[in-house]
Structures are given as structure tokens and as C-alpha cells.
């Protein structure tokens, strides 16, 4: 067995594996509004993040996404309380002063009676979205999007470089802006204007990008692209269309908003287009890759764990297993055993993903 297949050999897991696993967990969350299952999914992703994240700056993003999730729940509940109507239930908790609205807004009610049913529904809906956000946060914490971009297929290389450069420039713009705002004080000015803030920042960014372009040119960027421009554009277009098709297919399959044959068709065409274009694209690119992240047994295990979790939930939902959706907002949530086991399998990466390299003391 090659060394990369060992589960205990310290190395960084392929970023693609982390993202696939996290997206699978998000899919699992999208199938249920049962608070027990949602809490379980959150706990599973949180545990894996705690077990396998590095000390890189982006590794703290899980907390940020958690806060964002809480905000989503809060906004949802407050809005529901303001717009609540009796149609959702009859357990009135308290009554807000009602604001009279003009004639044209006849269907909308602002304030008035707030029912427990409405609040609980909003809470569960918000929680679902929050947990899905946290799954993306987990992927962010475990593998930065920048590392993911590095393992982009060769046909998308140019686009990947553009994204990486943009990711570097964005924080730089913020520091520039701060510095220039501080400098305004030195001119005795208190008020900001486009001329004194945005202009210097933009000028600086432009200077920097020209310099970066010169540096990239002198370091051989773009030297190996022998393909004519038209062909290059066509490949990129095919890849993009393919990805769009895949996206559309997956979305349609998950939300049941389109008929099954259409969704499956879009998915198939998308996969075909993307794979074909990438195969053609790979032939013309003579670039090599420095220490590419390997895809070995741990990666397969991590992705499989996510797939099992998502699969269990999707199947359960399709079969109409009792407990994924609550009978009513105020019942005690049941604990369906099949989805619970499925979600718990999502814990596997905490063990299957190799530990991180420790800095040599």
C-alpha cells in the first residue's frame, strides 16, 4: 500500500474531498426540518472541524459562519413575529401593537397577535438554513477556497488564477482604504469624498495589478498555451456550460421543482460537456503541478461518509420516512433511527482524514 493511503500518515486532505463531504452534509440538512436531526448534523460537522482543522487564518471561519447562522435564525423569527397571522395556529403568545397599512397592502399585516406555531416554524426553517451555512463554513475552515482553486482542472486554470489574485487583492484593498482614511487626518480633513478615499485606493490597486501582470509575464505565465485563442475560449465555454448543467440538474433533483427526466437530463449533459471539455483542455496545457494534493484512500472514505449521510436522508425523504418533517410546529420532535445513523456516519472523517502535520518544535 502506498504511503498516501495510510489513515495515520500526517498530511493535508485533498480540499476537494472536504468540500464534497461538507456539501453532502448540507444536502442532508436540506431534507429535514426536524430540530433533533439538524442539531445532530451541526454537532457532527462541528466535531469534525474541531478534530481536523489547522491553525491557518481561515480555520476560524466555522465560528464566523455559526454567528451568521444565529443571525439568520434571529432575522427569520423577528420577521415572522412582525408578519405573523392566525392562519398557522391558534396559540397566541403575546400581542404586538398593530400598524395600520395603506389600502394597496391589504394582504399584509404588520404587528398584532403572535402565535407560538408561527414562531416555531420560523425557528425550524431558520435553523435549517443556518445548519446548511455552517456546513459551508466547515468546508471553509477545513480547506480554504484558495487551496481548492489550486486543484482546479487544467482547462479552468486561467479562471482559477484570476480568482486567486482577486482573493489576494480584496484584503489588500481594505488595508489600503484604512491607511488612506488615516492619512486624510494628516491633511486636516474630516469629511470623506470619492476623490479622497476611493480614488487613491483604486489608483493603488491599478498600479499593483500592472506590476503583478509584469511579474507574471516575466515568470512565464501563459507561455505554454499553444492552442489558438478560439479553441481555448470554446473549451472554457464548454466547461462553464457543463458546470451550469450539473448545477441545474443537482438543484432540480434536490428541490423537486422540475420533473425528474429533465433534471436527470440536465445533469447528464452537464457531466458530459464538462468531462469532455476538460479532457481536451488537459491535452494542450503543458503546465505541471508542484506537489499536487493526492487523492487516496482517506479522500475516498471522507467523500463516502458524506455520501452515506446525504444518501440516507435523501432516501428517507423520498420514501416518506416519518420524522423528517414534523406533524405540527408544537409536537415533540421524533427521532427516526435510519436518518440518525446516516448522519452519524458523517463523523467518519474525524478519524479517516489524516491528522495534520505538527510544526517541528
Partner 1 sequence: MIEFDRVSVTYDGATEPALRDVSLIVPEGELALVIGRTGSGKSTLLRAINGLVPHFTGGTLSGRVLVDGRDTREYRPRDLADVVGMVGQDPMAGFVTDTVEDELAYSMESLGIAPDVMRRRVEETLDLLGLADVRDRALASLSGGQRQRTAIGAALTSHPAVLVLDEPTSALDPQAAEEVLAALQRLVHDLGVTVVLAEHRLERVIQYADRVIEVPGGAAAVSTGLPAERMVTAPVAPPVVELGRLAGWSPLPLSVRDARRAAVALRRQLDSAAPVRSVAALGDELARCADLVVGYGNVMALRGVSLSVKAGEVVALMGRNGAGKSTLLNTLVGILPARSGTAVAAGTDPHRMKPAQLVKAVGLVPQEPADLLYAATVADECSAADSDFKVPAGSCRALLERLAPDVALDQHPRDLSEGQRLCLALAVVLCGAPPLLLLDEPTRGLDYGAKRRLVAILRELAAAGHAVVLSTHDVEMVAEVATRVMVLAEGELVSDGDTAEVIAGSPAFAPQVAKILAPLPFLTVGEVADALDRAS
Is residue 45 a contact partner of residue 135, using CB atoms and an 8 Å limit?
yes
Place of cell 398593530: 98
Does residue number 173 form part of the binding site for partner 1 (CB under 8 A)? no
Rule CB under 8 A: choose which of 3, 182, 331, 332 binds partner 1. 182
Rule CB under 8 A: choose which of 102, 166, 170, 187 binds partner 1. 187
Distance CA 5, CA 279 (A): 26
* Residues listed for the chain: 361
Buried b (16+ CB within 10 A) or exposed e, 209-230: eeeeeeeeeeeeeeeeeebeee
CB-based burial label for 265 (10 Å; 0-12, 13-18, 19+): middle
What track of x and - describes contact with partner 1 for positions 139 through 168 (by CB under 8 A)? -------x---x----------x--xx--x
Span from 214-222, 301-309, 318-326, 328-336 in contact with partner 1 (CB under 8 A): 214-222
Q: Within 20-79, which residues bind partner 1 (CB under 8 A)?
A: 56-57
- CB neighbour list of residue 169: distance below 8 Å, 6 or more residues apart: 205, 208, 209
Is residue 128 a contact partner of residue 38, using CB atoms and an 8 Å limit?
yes
What track of x and - describes contact with partner 1 for positions 300 through 339 (by CB under 8 A)? ----------------------------------------
- 108 vs 182 by CB, closer to partner 1: 182
Rule CB under 8 A: choose which of 11, 184, 232, 284 binds partner 1. 184
Q: Within 233-262, which residues bind partner 1 (CB under 8 A)?
A: none
- CB neighbour list of residue 181: distance below 8 Å, 6 or more residues apart: 192, 197
- 43 vs 210 by CB, closer to partner 1: 210
Residues near partner 1, by CB under 8 A = 56-57, 146, 150, 161, 164-165, 168, 179-180, 182-190, 195-196, 199-200, 203-204, 207-208, 211-224, 286-292
Amino acid at each position: 500500500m502506498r504511503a498516501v493511503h495510510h489513515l495515520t500518515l500526517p498530511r493535508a486532505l485533498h480540499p476537494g474531498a472536504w468540500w464534497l463531504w461538507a456539501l453532502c452534509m448540507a444536502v442532508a440538512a436540506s431534507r429535514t426540518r426536524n430540530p433533533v436531526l439538524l442539531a445532530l448534523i451541526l454537532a457532527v460537522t462541528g466535531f469534525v472541524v474541531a478534530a481536523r482543522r489547522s491553525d491557518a487564518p481561515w480555520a476560524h471561519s466555522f465560528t464566523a459562519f455559526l454567528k451568521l447562522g444565529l443571525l439568520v435564525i434571529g432575522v427569520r423569527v423577528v420577521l415572522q413575529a412582525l408578519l405573523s397571522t392566525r392562519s398557522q395556529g391558534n396559540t397566541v403568545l403575546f400581542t404586538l401593537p398593530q400598524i395600520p397599512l395603506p389600502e394597496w397592502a391589504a394582504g399584509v399585516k404588520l404587528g398584532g397577535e403572535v402565535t407560538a406555531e408561527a414562531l416555531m416554524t420560523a425557528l425550524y426553517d431558520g435553523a435549517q438554513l443556518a445548519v446548511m451555512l455552517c456546513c459551508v463554513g466547515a468546508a471553509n475552515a477545513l480547506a480554504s477556497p484558495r487551496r481548492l482553486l489550486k486543484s482546479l482542472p487544467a482547462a479552468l486554470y486561467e479562471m482559477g488564477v484570476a480568482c486567486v489574485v482577486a482573493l489576494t487583492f480584496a484584503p489588500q484593498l481594505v488595508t489600503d482604504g484604512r491607511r488612506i482614511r488615516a492619512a486624510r487626518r494628516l491633511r486636516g480633513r474630516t469629511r470623506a469624498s470619492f476623490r479622497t478615499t476611493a480614488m487613491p485606493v483604486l489608483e493603488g490597486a491599478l498600479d499593483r495589478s500592472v506590476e503583478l501582470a509584469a511579474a507574471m509575464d516575466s515568470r512565464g505565465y501563459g507561455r505554454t498555451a499553444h492552442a489558438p485563442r478560439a479553441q481555448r475560449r470554446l473549451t472554457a465555454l464548454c466547461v462553464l456550460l457543463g458546470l451550469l448543467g450539473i448545477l441545474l440538474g443537482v438543484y432540480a433533483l434536490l428541490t423537486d421543482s422540475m420533473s425528474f427526466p429533465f433534471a436527470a437530463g440536465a445533469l447528464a449533459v452537464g457531466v458530459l460537456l464538462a468531462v469532455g471539455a476538460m479532457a481536451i483542455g488537459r491535452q494542450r496545457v503543458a503546465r505541471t503541478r508542484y506537489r499536487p494534493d493526492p487523492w487516496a484512500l482517506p479522500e475516498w472514505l471522507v467523500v463516502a461518509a458524506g455520501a452515506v449521510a446525504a444518501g440516507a436522508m435523501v432516501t428517507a425523504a423520498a420514501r416518506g420516512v416519518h420524522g423528517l418533517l414534523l406533524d405540527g410546529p408544537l409536537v415533540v420532535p421524533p427521532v427516526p433511527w435510519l436518518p440518525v445513523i446516516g448522519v452519524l456516519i458523517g463523523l467518519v472523517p474525524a478519524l479517516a482524514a489524516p491528522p495534520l502535520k505538527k510544526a517541528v518544535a
